């Protein structure tokens, strides 16, 4: 609610694939459900992130690790969509320098299970108004990518992407920095949680083939 943010390899489940996209749209995505009371009468914005850097502790400040386009391995279509969104110097600066956070706990947990591989720590963080650069929407990113795949002009969806979105579990925060509130999962606990989740899903009717690839090694 990346990215920074290394991003995902292609995954056959479209809903899971959306969970690992990068996006950003306008601040109209923010709603009252994005705030938690601090006990002082002010709101505290909450986000979630999986991160493979040196583990942080409660109270530590988390910042971006650099332009995710330089440090992550993107599928070609996602890289082209990313470049389409960087359609001005202002937009390039935002996307190149932001720390990406998930707005939804379950989306972030799915990311950790799929990409954790024993090296990603799963955090709950907070951030201030002044550090919010933009709010993204994974589904709008998908529309830009679909336009490019179909050789259509993506400018309308790029404009939509930067104009705003409705709040949903697919929203993602782009921020300057965040403060660690909780270490939800240690990187070292990934194998146990991941294997349990995959085994449970595989036992469900019709899921054996769908989830067979999740235990295969993938490079991020």
- pLDDT for 190: 85
Task: Output Rg (C-alpha) for the chain, integer angstroms.
Answer: 17
- pLDDT for 41: 34
Chain-centroid distance, C-alpha 70: 16
What mean pLDDT is reported for the chain? 76
For residues 185, 187, 188, 189, the Cα torsion angle rounded to the nearest 10 degrees is 30
Please report which helix (H) or strand (E) contains residue 175, including its range.
strand 171-175
CA atoms within 13 A on the CB side of 213: 8
- pLDDT for 101: 94
CB 17 within 8 A of CB 11: yes
- What does the pLDDT look like over 120-161, one tens digit per residue? 999 999 999 999 998 888 889 999 999 999 999 999 999 888
Give yes or no for residue 114 having a pLDDT over 80: yes
- List the beta bridge partners of residue 182: 124
| Distance between CA atoms of residues 140 and 25, nearest Å | 8
Residue with the larger pLDDT of the pair 120 and 217: 120
CA distances from 186 to 31, 181, 189, 218 (A): 30, 14, 5, 20
- pLDDT for 194: 65
Chain-centroid distance, C-alpha 170: 9
4-13, 82-91, 126-135, 175-184: which range is least confident on average?
4-13
| Distance between CA atoms of residues 207 and 203, nearest Å | 7
- List the beta bridge partners of residue 127: 45
- What does the pLDDT look like over 86-107, one tens digit per residue? 988 889 899 999 999 999 999 9
Domain ranges of the chain: 14-215
Give yes or no for residue 23 having a pLDDT over 60: no
Question: In the chain, which ranges are continuous DSSP H helix?
Answer: 14-19, 68-71, 76-85, 89-97, 105-115, 138-149, 155-163, 190-203, 208-212
CB 110 within 8 A of CB 19: yes
- What does the pLDDT look like over 24-82, one tens digit per residue? 333 344 433 344 433 333 557 999 999 999 999 999 999 998 888 876 667 788 889 99
Residue with the larger pLDDT of the pair 48 and 17: 48
């Amino acid at each position: 609610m990346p990215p920074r943010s290394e991003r995902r390899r292609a995954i056959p489940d479209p809903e899971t694939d959306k969970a690992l996209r990068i996006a950003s749209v306008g601040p109209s995505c923010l709603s009252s459900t994005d705030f938690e009371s601090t006990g002082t009468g002010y709101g505290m914005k909450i986000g979630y992130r999986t991160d493979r850097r040196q583990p942080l502790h409660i109270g530590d400040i988390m910042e971006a690790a650099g332009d995710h386009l330089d440090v992550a391995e993107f599928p070609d279509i996602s890289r082209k969509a990313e470049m389409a969104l960087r359609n001005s110097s202002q937009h390039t600066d935002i996307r190149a320098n932001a720390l990406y956070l998930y707005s939804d706990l379950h989306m972030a947990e799915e990311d950790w299970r799929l990409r954790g591989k024993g090296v990603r720590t799963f955090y709950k963080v907070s951030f201030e108004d002044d550090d919010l650069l933009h709010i993204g929407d994974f589904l709008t990113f998908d529309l830009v990518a679909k336009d490019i795949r179909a050789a259509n002009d993506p400018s309308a969806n790029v404009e939509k992407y930067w104009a705003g979105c409705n709040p949903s579990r697919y929203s993602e925060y782009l921020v300057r920095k965040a403060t660690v509130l909780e270490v939800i999962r240690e990187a070292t606990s990934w194998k146990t949680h991941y294997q349990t989740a995959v085994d449970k899903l595989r036992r469900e009717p019709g899921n054996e083939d769908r989830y067979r690839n999740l235990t295969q090694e993938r490079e991020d």
